[in-house]
Amino acid sequence: MSDNLERMKGFVERYVPEFMREGKIPGFSIAVVKEGEVVYAEGYGVRDVSRSMPATPDTLYGIGSCTKSFVALAIMQLAEKGKLELDDPVSDYVPLKIGVEGKPITIHHLLSHSSGIPSLATSTISLWRGVGLDLGVPWGTVDDFYRFVNGAQDEVADEPGRRLFYFNAGYRLLGHIIQEKSGIPFHVYVTENILKPLGMTRSTLVKAEYERDADRMTAYWKKPDGSLTPTPFPYPNVEDNLPFSFIAAAGGIMAPVTELTNYLTATMDGGAYGGKRIASPESIEKMITPHISYAMTHYGRSGYGYGWSVVDDFLGHKMVSHGGSILVSTSYLAFLPKLKIGVAMAANTSQPPFAMIAEGVFASLLGKDPEELPALRLREHMRRLIGTYEVYRGLERVRVLNRSGALYLEQKDPFTDAILPLIPDDQSPITTKYYTS
């Protein structure tokens, strides 16, 4: 294990600074846990650019949609207590009125993003307002939320259970169900029944608590030109509007990566942590079992459980993960449940290639060469292709660019100003033959 651990450290300490430079990431924190022991924890860069305050493993970040598995866990706790059933219609608990007639949307459908309702951009409303870009949608009360969601009947794309549509509003509905069935605000339930039992004493959904913490990130809005602008944490302070506390259910937790390893450990240990049990092994297994398939990956088809994405065969092992973004802060959690190896990462702007880093960490700890992983091989291949190309004697020049993981051809001269996608000429991802449309 010691050789593998050194290989993992070498991988992280080589690639994380590269990714930060390429992505203009001010601060980044990572913690790796194996069988309940944190075997690596480090901060890179700064949590606050203007004061050159370093990022640490204990820096608080907004973890965005990694919050969703906490919501799913809370639902499983309530199901274990007999307060609800996963197959109950959502409309039995909250006033959801849209969907396909005769095909009720159940709690299970919301947990697995299989409600048949596509994104309604509820997080766009909340997060853009948080950075000063109000879209003009009435958005301040529980009634506003349901007027908006229930007005979207024409957006319903399929009957429940057939396809995955990532649905932030669905997790807000789950947060409201938690609030209704527990009789306390959503954020209070999660704090008392998950965060505190796991020793996550600095993790919070309360903006005011986050702002009092000395080791917290400054969030940075990365604009299209790559410039960074400091912004407030974009979610509102849930304590100021207790009935609408569940607005935070789609992505409102703030946590350090070191405390997130407690959560990973409990999940990998079947819901047990430090002699306490926060859920049954059966509930945890349901959460990390795919209930609906979606994208193909380098490792075959992936599926969605309850608050977690699942790949069945990463180098021979089940891999569970989830990313999170609130536009100005991002995070990623991943683990190999059988081996009890997990990684938590966060950054104070939009998105480093978290999945690539997690896969490299796991490959290293499995004794494999991370640079042979498909994503890293493809990255290095594309890096070799980008640059300036010219025809005979330099009479014409074009540039090949990498934008968001795709190659483009840019041609600029007195007669042409064009950017065209480069399309692979064969099925191999490692190809040097491309054509333009």
CATH class, 2-375 region: alpha beta
Q: Is 155 left (phi over 0), alpha (psi -120 to 50) or beta?
A: alpha
pTM: 0.92
Show Cβ contacts of residue 373 under 8 Å, excluding neighbours closer than 6 positions.
298, 356, 359, 360, 363
283, 80 contact by CB (below 8 A): yes
Residue 434 zone, left/alpha/beta (φ > 0; ψ -120 to 50; rest): beta
| Average pLDDT value for residue range 265-286 | 97
Residues 141-148: contacts with CB within 8 Å, 24+ apart? Answer: 141/241, 141/243, 141/244, 142/176, 142/243, 142/244, 145/169, 145/172, 145/244, 145/247, 146/94, 146/95, 146/96, 146/97, 148/120, 148/122
Does position 423 have pLDDT exceeding 90, yes or no?
no
List pLDDT tens digits, range 11-62: 999 999 999 999 999 999 999 999 999 999 999 999 999 999 999 999 999 9
The side-by-side arrangement of strands in the sheet containing 292-297 is 53-54, 37-48, 27-34, 341-347, 330-336, 317-325, 309-314, 300-304, 292-297
Tell me which residue of 41, 64, 63, 42 sits closest to 54, measured CA to CA.
42
Q: Lowest mean pLDDT: which of 252-256, 304-308, 390-394?
A: 390-394
Cα four-point dihedral sign 241, 79, 277, 269: negative
Handedness of CA 290, 295, 297, 300 (dihedral sign): positive
Q: Read off the DSSP letter of residue 404.
A: T
Q: What is the pLDDT of residue 394?
A: 86
Of 122, 99, 76, 123, whose CA–CA distance to 306 is shortest? 76
Among 329, 353, 343, 334, which residue's Cα sits nearest to residue 47? 329
Cα(107)–Cα(242) distance, rounded to whole angstroms? 23
The whole-number pLDDT of residue 1 equals 55
Are 92 and 107 within 8 A, CB to CB? no
Query: Can you say whether residue 98 is alpha, beta or left, with left for phi > 0 and alpha for psi between -120 and 50 degrees?
Result: beta
- When the pLDDT of each residue in the chain is averaged and rounded to a whole number, the result is 95
Confidence (pLDDT) at 180: 98
pLDDT at 204: 98
Q: How far is 249 from 191, CA to CA, in rounded Å? A: 12
pLDDT value at 315 more than 90: yes
pLDDT recorded at residue 327: 92
396 or 51: which leads in pLDDT: 51
**Which are the contacts of 235, defined by CB distance < 8 A and separation ≥ 6?**
62, 126, 127, 130, 207, 247, 248, 251, 252, 326
Is residue 430 within 8 A of residue 377, CB to CB? The reply is yes
Please give the pLDDT value at position 429. Answer: 67
pLDDT of residue 395: 86
Given a cut of 90, whether residue 424 has pLDDT beyond it is no
User: Per-residue confidence at 382, pLDDT binned at 50, 70, 90?
Assistant: confident
Task: State the Cα–Cα distance between residues 292 and 305, nearest whole angstrom.
Answer: 7
How far is residue 284 from each of residues 65, 132, 274, measured CA to CA in Å?
Answer: 18, 39, 17
Rg of the chain over CA atoms, in angstroms? 22
Structure tokens of 17?
A: 């600074």
Lowest mean pLDDT among 104-108, 170-174, 353-357, 416-420: 416-420
Q: What type of residue is 435?
A: Y
Nearest to 24 by CA among 8, 46, 9: 46
Dihedral angle over CA of 140, 143, 145, 148, nearest 10: -120
Q: What percent of the chain is predicted at pLDDT more than 70?
A: 99
Which residues of 100-202 form beta strands (DSSP E)? none
**Sign, CA torsion 139/143/147/153:** positive
Write down the pLDDT at residue 383: 87
Cα Dmax for the chain: 77
Task: Convert the pLDDT of each residue in 213-251 to its tens digit.
Answer: 999 999 999 988 889 999 999 999 999 999 999 999 999
Domain spans, the chain: 2-375, 386-436
DSSP 204: B
- ∠ Cα 125 129 134 (to 5°): 85
Angle at 175 between CA 132 and CA 194, to 5 degrees: 105
pLDDT score at 413? 85
Contact 422, 408 (CB under 8 A): yes
Tell me the angle at which helices 122-130 and 168-182 cross, rounded to the nearest 10 degrees.
Answer: 90
Residue 194 contacts residue 70 (beta carbons within 8 Å): yes
